[in-house]
Chain A
Amino acid sequence: NAGVTQTPKFQVLKTGQSMTLQCAQDMNHNSMYWYRQDPGMGLRLIYYSASEGTTDKGEVPNGYNVSRLNKREFSLRLESAAPSQTSVYFCASSEADRSSGNTIYFGEGSWLTVV
């Protein structure tokens, strides 16, 4: 029962390098999200995709781009990594409806260090 799978789990980048975090969910959810989690800051929404073909900015989108490749996959790209992007990144998915609100299921996280 995979749920939300994200790769890689750990990555070290040099300042200015680019990379893509991959995420896939097998729950047939419409909505997918990318969050970052920093000490003392909690979870902050970077981008989300309410449905296939749509993406929207969250609280902290600067320095990131996303692609909703299909219903299952939602990738996060850092075009030119900066030390301020050192964080733990979580991909998540949900099936929002009025009967259940919005229960979000998270992946295991990707630890990214930019040096």
Chain B
Amino acid sequence: QKEVEQDPGPLSVPEGAIVSLNCTYSNSAFQYFMWYRQYSRKGPELLMYTYSSGNKEDGRFTAQVDKSSKYISLFIRDSQPSDSATYLCAMSANRGSTLGRLYFGRGTQLTVWP
């Protein structure tokens, strides 16, 4: 079992829809949770970062972490065609030798059509 599981999709939604992207994980040591966005033929870029449990909002994007369920989510409100990309979740621990190593999900491919 991979440490981080993410449904690869693809996910296709109309413009203006609310998008929900999710990951589950197995390692209770994970404390830092990130979402990366990757456009076609580009490198991943950091979109959202959250420490421990709770919510974080940035414009149309909201990241949620539920450590009790080992489940993280990214919500995109009023989705736009420019949001079409692959979204990767990533996480890391804060103790021991694993500090500094990120564990990635496989990525979910999202298409927002006009």
Residue in contact with A96 in the complex, picked from B45, B100, B106, B107, CB distance below 8 Å: B100
Residue in contact with B46 in the complex, picked from A58, A105, A107, CB distance below 8 Å: A105
- B: which residues have CB within 8 A of A? 6, 8, 31-32, 34, 36, 41-46, 49, 51, 88, 90, 92, 94, 99-102, 104-107
- B32 and A48 contact, CB distance less than 8 A: no
- A102 and B101 contact, CB distance less than 8 A: yes
In the assembled complex, the Cα of A58 lies from the Cα of B97 at a distance in Å of: 13
- A42 and B88 contact, CB distance less than 8 A: yes
- A: which residues have CB within 8 A of B? 4, 31, 40-43, 45, 48, 50, 58, 90, 92, 94, 96, 98, 100-109
Most chain A CB neighbours (cut-off 10 Å) among B32, B41, B43: B43
A50/B44 contact (C-beta < 8 A), A41-B106, A102-B32, A103-B34 known: no
- B105 and A42 contact, CB distance less than 8 A: yes
- B44 and A102 contact, CB distance less than 8 A: no
A31/B106 contact (C-beta < 8 A), A90-B43, A102-B92 known: no
- A106 and B43 contact, CB distance less than 8 A: yes
Residue in contact with A102 in the complex, picked from B6, B100, B106, CB distance below 8 Å: B100
CB distance from A34 to the nearest CB of B (A): 13
